[in-house]
Amino acid sequence: MFRTSVALGSSKLQAFLLPPRVFIKLHRGRMSAPPLAAVCQVTSTPDKEANFSACVRQVEAARRRGASMVFLPEGFDYIGSSREETLQLAESLEGETVTRYRGLARRLEVWLSLGGFHERVDEQKIFNSHIIINHEGSVVSVYRKSHLFDVELPEKGVSLQESSFTVPGATLVAPVDTPIGKVGLGVCYDLRFPELSLALRRHGADVLTYPSAFTMATGAAHWEVLLRARAVETQCYVLAAAQVGRHHAGRSSYGHALAAGPWGEVLADCGGEEPGLALVAVDLEEVRRIRRDMPLQRHRRDAAFYDRVAPS
């Protein structure tokens, strides 16, 4: 079992109280329904088959409720219990896991954000890859995580060296045209680098997405404030699917899969206890209105201005 919530504007209601199909807004005298995005929260383990089954249930539930695009978190395919297991379970983009998700997208006619796939490079290295699949089952974009989580916080019980088995991506990728707008791609630790979000905004993003597996300590301290900050500075929707709970004896994740609006308000939060999903109406008219009323992009100085500092 998992929870479902739906969000419209700044209100969050349980699905049984307000079915997502009633989301209708009035724009300039015309009735229209903003497209729905589903932000998922799962608990991956080293069992790839069990993980796939759990994710399929969430994607099917989201599609039944009207979602046109579904976002799955970093490590949706698995979270290994050791470096060796992580490398052993990795696959290529042409492997069984991506092939099955392509078939799922085609069968349900839904777009998928697969946020943090263990893409094999060789026997010793992987990419952490964010894959976008369209409703026809085609891979339309692949972004490879460019900031790697090499952090030692002994007082917080956090010790991860992602670079010991992951190769950083060489470049950002252009925002992807989707049914919910132009989506700019990041993965987890990328969230901490505003340069990335601002670059994607300059290239036309309406929505930013940060599929994640935040630790308990860093999630409690920074997760929501970082997501809301990225929304405020870019005036984008920010959608962040998340891992939750215990994956194996050595690792747990914070959860709280979250959606923020372009004004920085929290539209949905899946909590920190169990798998679930949130359905969010992505209103691009609201994005355009906020950007018109507070034109941050027009007010920014040229890049050289921020690179130089006058002597005091």
Contact status, residue 42 vs residue 72, Cβ threshold 8 Å:
yes
Contact status, residue 124 vs residue 88, Cβ threshold 8 Å:
no
* Catalytic hit among 145, 182, 270, 286: 145
The answer to whether 48 is a known catalytic residue is no
Q: Is 119 exposed, middle or buried (0-12, 13-18, 19+ CB in 10 A)?
A: buried
The answer to whether 136 is a known catalytic residue is no
Q: Which single residue is written with the structure tokens 């919530």?
A: 5
DSSP string, 196-240: HHHHHHHTT-SEEE--B---HHHHHHHHHHHHHHHHHHHT-EEEE
* Catalytic hit among 55, 74, 236, 270: 74
Three-state DSSP class for residue 13: strand
Long-range CB contact pairs, 12-16, < 8 A, 24+: 12/267, 12/268, 12/269, 12/278, 15/65, 15/279
The answer to whether 188 is a known catalytic residue is yes
Going by C-alpha positions, the residue among 238, 226, 67, 245 that lies closest to residue 147 is 226
* Catalytic hit among 188, 236, 270, 286: 188
Could you give the residue numbers annotated as active site?
74, 145, 188
